[in-house]
Amino acid sequence: ERLPELLGIMPKAELHMHIEGSLEPELIFALAQRNGVTIPYASVEELRKAYAFTNLQSFLDIYYAGASVLLTEQDFYDMAWAYLQRAAADNVRRAEMFFDPQTHTERGVSMATVIGGLHRACVDAKTALGVDAALILCFLRHLSEESAFETLEQALPFRDQFIGVGLDSSEVGHPPEKFARVFARCRELGLHLVAHAGEEGPPAYVWSALDVLKVERIDHGVQSTKDPALMKRLAADRIPLTVCPLSNLKLCVFPQLSQHNLGQLLDAGLIATVNSDDPAYFGGYMNENFLQTFAATGLDAKQAWQLAANSFEGSFADVAAKKQWR
Ligand code: ADE
Ligand code: ZN
């Protein structure tokens, strides 16, 4: 069977991954030691055993604890460089990486340290790996609008080192409307706009991400199949959905991978893509997401090519780069 080989070798873009979610337990321990930070786990094995999640919040608690070992510019570089090497091995040609500055600035790490290290890895990825990498700054939706505005202010001196903004963290109870004004400001600044919506939250959050925040892509969006009018809107406006199958499985959004609705999204004509979300926590990088999803759901080679094409179409790469990948 040649489908697994095709899934591995086909060039692809990753549009939904959190760089802090690529921190492998080994690197968490190495950075903890290097920085003299203590973490409440005795070993790599013990930490990995804690990766048994029941929902989004149960994951976020451990994810933020893991990120606490990041202190220096070199730490952020090392984390991003490890991910970009891994992405290159999976034939990822374009990577749009989310980062969560508030997770770090709230611990006293400066915005310059965070963006400086991540951006230096993006520059090196282009020359050393042939991976076109870019950064998207995410606001944490469990924090206030005021904190998001403050974060934007701190990031503006580095405006040329990130391409857009997103919205992540605890979804239910924190609807897109909470960030209407900060997204309006980001839109004026010419930043690309995306938001997590419809991961655990209702279709109404996807509608307001589109109509209130005016986002260009929806991250996850898998709850959209519950609302036929929303499905029509997403198809008509060609709004990409950055779907993360192994994440959805590990966070119990779907009880089994065989029940994932990726095929339904593609059949409805949506620009669905496959992504890894937090690969160190959810058991797989890009190719593993493709392999396991195709094995479980019976998607075929034609759908594989469609997903790859969707990933480049949905990316924020410039037109010349998109042409070269076609
Ligand atoms: N932060 C990291 N991964 C996330 C996810 N899957 N949903 C919301 N926030 C996140
Ligand atoms: Zn995500």
User: How much of the chain exceeds pLDDT 70, in percent?
Assistant: 100
Q: Is beta strand 217-220 parallel, antiparallel or unpaired with respect to 241-243?
A: parallel
Query: Which of 16, 250, 278 for mutating ligand 1's site (highest number of atoms within 8 Å of CB)?
Result: 278
Would you call 59 helix, strand, or coil by DSSP?
A: helix
pLDDT tens, position by position, 176-221: 999 999 999 999 999 999 999 999 999 999 999 999 999 999 999 9
If we measure between CA atoms, which residue out of 315, 311, 318, 317 comes closest to residue 275?
A: 311
| Chain centroid offset of residue 165 CA | 12
Pocket lining: 22 vs ligand 1, CB cutoff 6 Å: no
Residue 326 has pLDDT above 80, yes or no: no
95 — pLDDT class (breaks 50, 70, 90): very high
Residues 135-174: pLDDT tens digits? Answer: 999 999 999 999 999 999 999 999 999 999 999 999 999 9
Domain annotation for the chain: domains and CATH numbers:
3-313 (3.20.20.140)
- Please say if 199 is a catalytic residue: yes
Proximal ligand: closest to the CA of 282 = 1
Find out whether the beta carbon of 169 lies less than 6 Å from any atom of ligand 1. Answer: yes
Q: For residue 253, give the ligand nearest its CA.
A: 1
Secondary structure letter of residue 278 according to DSSP: S
| Three-state SS at 138 | strand
